[in-house]
């Protein structure tokens, strides 16, 4: 089992196929909340869709393209966090995440994203990490800002959400800046 211990009581774990129903139930319970920012909810209609997703995360990990795992807080699945497939040639990655609505506001996403940024630079030897955040998703923008990622620009019509396009704000940090900032903190 692949499990990253973020801190006591908080981890990111590669899900097993046996976790498909739990993942689907979490998505189902948060469907209307998550639909504001995530485009894939209409494609997730049963635990079989969650199984297919979990299989894709295993393939991504097996191919050396990074972990996309379940966020576990006190042994309960509360969301997902990880790397959209790592670009090995350019030594960079984009991090994606989502949390159940009831798990918001506890620092879980900020802590997990910080861990994955650090892991990307110290363990995976990447040089750049990015977050691509919907223009009006102010909570996610606050995470990027808190962690010291720089706003690099806006990608117009970056994502189609059900009946409209949304712009994304691109944030990034390079290894040198992250490690220098970490040394100061």
Which tens digits make up the pLDDT trace of 106-158? Answer: 999 999 999 999 999 999 999 999 999 999 999 999 999 999 999 999 999 99
Q: What's the domain range around 150?
A: 3-184
Measure the CA–CA gap between 8 and 158, rounded to whole angstroms.
36
> 3-state class of 21 per DSSP?
helix
Domain count, the chain: 1
* Alpha helices for the chain (secondary structure H): 20-29, 31-34, 47-62, 108-122, 138-146, 175-184
Range with lowest mean pLDDT among 46-55, 84-93, 176-185: 176-185
User: Does the pLDDT value for residue 88 go beyond 80?
Assistant: yes
The pLDDT assigned to 175 comes to: 96
Tokens 């774990």 belong to which residue? 13
Cα–Cα nearest to 39, from 138, 134, 174, 131: 134
Residue 75 belongs to domain with CATH number: 3.40.630.30
Cα–Cα nearest to 120, from 51, 57, 161, 174: 174
Element (H, E) at 35: none
- pTM, rounded to two decimals: 0.95
In the numeric block, which tokens belong to residue 84?
């959209």
Which tens digits make up the pLDDT trace of 48-80? Answer: 999 999 999 999 999 999 999 999 999 999 999
In the numeric block, which tokens belong to residue 76?
């309960």
């Amino acid at each position: 089992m692949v499990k990253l211990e973020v801190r006591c009581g908080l981890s990111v774990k590669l899900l097993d196929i046996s976790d498909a129903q739990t993942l689907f139930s979490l998505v189902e319970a948060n469907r209307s909340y998550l639909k504001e920012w995530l485009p894939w909810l209409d494609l997730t209609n049963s635990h079989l869709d969650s199984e297919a997703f979990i299989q894709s995360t295993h393939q991504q990990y097996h191919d050396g393209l990074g972990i996309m795992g379940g966020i576990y807080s006190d042994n309960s699945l509360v969301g997902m966090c990880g790397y959209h497939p790592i670009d090995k040639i350019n030594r960079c990655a984009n991090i994606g995440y989502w949390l159940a609505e009831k798990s918001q506001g506890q620092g879980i996403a900020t802590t997990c994203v910080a861990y994955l940024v650090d892991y990307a630079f110290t363990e995976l030897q990447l040089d750049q990490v990015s977050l691509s955040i919907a223009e009006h998703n102010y909570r996610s923008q606050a995470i990027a800002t808190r962690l010291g990622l720089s706003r690099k620009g806006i990608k117009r019509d970056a994502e189609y959400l059900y009946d409209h396009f949304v712009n994304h704000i691109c944030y990034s940090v390079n290894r040198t800046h992250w490690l220098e900032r970490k040394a100061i903190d």
